[in-house]
Amino acid sequence: MDGSAFTNPSGELKPLVGGGHAFIPAPLPPTDLDMARLAIPVSEALQALGELKGAARRLANPWLLIQPMQRAEALATSAMEGTYTTMDQLVLEEAEVGIGSADAREVANFIQALDWASAQVDAGMPIAHRLLCGAHERLLRGVRGANSRPGQYKRDQNMIGNPDRKVTTARFVPPPPDITPDLMAQLERFINEEERQSAFQGLVDIALVHYQFATIHPFADGNGRLGRMLITLLAKKWGLLDHMLLYVSPELEERKERYIDCLFAVSARSAWEEWVAFFAETVVRSSARIIGTIDSLVALHEDFRARAARVGRSSNLQKVVDELFRIPVVTTPSVEVLLGVTYMAARNVIEKLERAEILRPIPDTRPQAWKAPAIIDLVRR
């Protein structure tokens, strides 16, 4: 790591045995954060979140939106770490009729980890060691990072931006493993002991926490995904939104280089305002995208229910339509379980929804599966 780049660091450089330095962030909050410079961008972000909260309240069932948005987040946050799959492969993996793609399994793990962490937050668990390690274990369960100590902090020095895997040439070197637990304990105290006097302070603190977690880089793998998951959890925990709806990875993926540069600039030259303003702008963009998705999903849901009503009066048709917005892939056995009906009755419901052009069979799946392509395409866009 090039120490000369750290002209006004927000922490300290620690020499490492064998050469090179690691960066140790100072505890939060920073003492030199100019709130006046952040008044406009943070206020604009809070206005956008207010509009998103209002749009979400139009949904009779918020899960019609939350589940599709989680998939978009999972795809984008995983792509930023070099794991790529398609929306089709992801929903097949979730429905357990996929072809066993390792990347699809890894992306699906993010959704499972987020669902678990969300439930823990709703149940009152603090966002601290137990929750973070539990989410990390689920994130890496059964995938390529499974040898990276799932659910446990790192034991080896990690690096960022190091194609030759050398500390001295890495762009950034996080804190060493031996002090990571203490740094995480400091971060947990900031998250759980600091009183947020306003939504303004809450949004600023989410940006600060995200930076601090990314900089500590406490795990051997999965830090980026877990750090972005923290944004969603904190927005709900601190009351900025009523539901887990702030998903920023699609916007961060579009501006990945600037995102990384802003985080580095905080460490190297204490550019806190630059980072928080960038984060606030990302919240504005994300809120606008999600509101657009809400409008499209509401319209599509109404259209699907009308189509289903035209091919049959059974409430079972409407139940399956609603389920498709949770997982847009069904099989005859899954419909059997959902409706509590016989195999033939389940197959009859699927055939009617196929006639309504809601479902389309997926070739070469066992058991035979059907997808709702309109839902998949909408979220993909």
Say if 50 falls within a structural domain. Answer: yes
Same domain, 270 and 360: no
* 326 and 252 belong to one structural domain: no
Any idea which of 17-21, 143-147, 278-282, 319-323 has the lowest mean pLDDT? 143-147
Q: Are residues 349 and 282 in the same domain?
A: no
∠ CA 247-251-252, rounded to 5°: 95
Q: Is a pLDDT exceeding 80 seen at residue 83?
A: yes
Query: 58 pLDDT band (50/70/90 cuts)?
Result: confident
Asked if residue 145 has pLDDT above 90, the reply is: no
Domain boundary among 247, 266, 293: 293
Whether the per-residue pLDDT at 144 is higher than 80: the answer is: no
Look at residue 84 in the predicted model and tell me its pLDDT: 87
Cis, bond preceding 181 (omega within 30 deg of 0): no
328 in the same domain as 219: no
pLDDT tens-digit map of 279-335: 999 999 999 999 998 889 889 999 999 999 999 999 999 999 999 998 899 999 999
pLDDT band at 1 (very low <50, low <70, confident <90, very high): confident
pLDDT in tens, 105-114: 999 999 999 9
More confident position, 16 or 341 = 341
User: Residue 304, SS3?
Assistant: helix
The yes-or-no verdict on residue 66 having pLDDT over 90 is no
- The whole-number pLDDT of residue 161 equals 82
57 and 203 in one domain? yes
Residues 6+ apart with CB under 8 A from 201: none
User: Into how many domains does the chain fold?
Assistant: 2
SS3 169: coil
Is pLDDT above 80 for 87?
A: yes
302 in a domain, yes or no?
A: no
Q: In what order do the strands lie in the sheet with 329-331?
A: 329-331, 369-371, 360-362
Residue 283 lies in a domain: yes
CATH number at residue 360: 1.10.10.10
Of the residues 293, 323, 353, the one at which a domain ends? 293
Shared domain check, 229 and 146: yes
Let me know whether 76 and 150 are in one domain: yes
pTM of the prediction?
A: 0.93
Amino acid 101: pLDDT = 81
The CA-based angle 235-240-246, given to 5 degrees, is 45
Tokens of 178: 């031996």
In a domain, 304, yes or no: no
Residue 300 lies in a domain: no
Q: Indicate if 245 and 276 belong to the same structural domain.
A: yes
CA atoms 343, 323, 328, 117: torsion sign? negative
Structure tokens at 153: 């902090």
Same structural domain, 22 and 104: yes
Query: Domain check: are 151 and 56 in the same one?
Result: yes
pLDDT, tens digit, for every residue of 209-220? 999 999 999 999
Query: Taking residues 136-150, what's their average pLDDT?
Result: 83
The per-residue pLDDT for 98 is 66
299 within domain boundaries = no
At residue 193, the pLDDT reads: 86
CATH number at residue 41: 1.10.3290.10
Nearest-10 Cα torsion for 305, 87, 233, 282: -100
User: Which of 229, 258, 293 is the last residue in one of the domains?
Assistant: 293
Any domain includes 196: yes
Do 195 and 80 lie in one domain? The reply is: yes
* Domain co-membership, 280 together with 154: yes
pLDDT tens for each residue of 213-272: 999 999 999 999 999 999 999 999 999 999 899 999 999 999 999 999 999 999 999 999
State the residue range of the domain holding 157: 3-293
Residue 171 lies in a domain: yes
pLDDT tens-digit profile of 148-204? 789 999 999 998 887 667 777 888 999 999 999 999 999 999 999 877 889 999 999
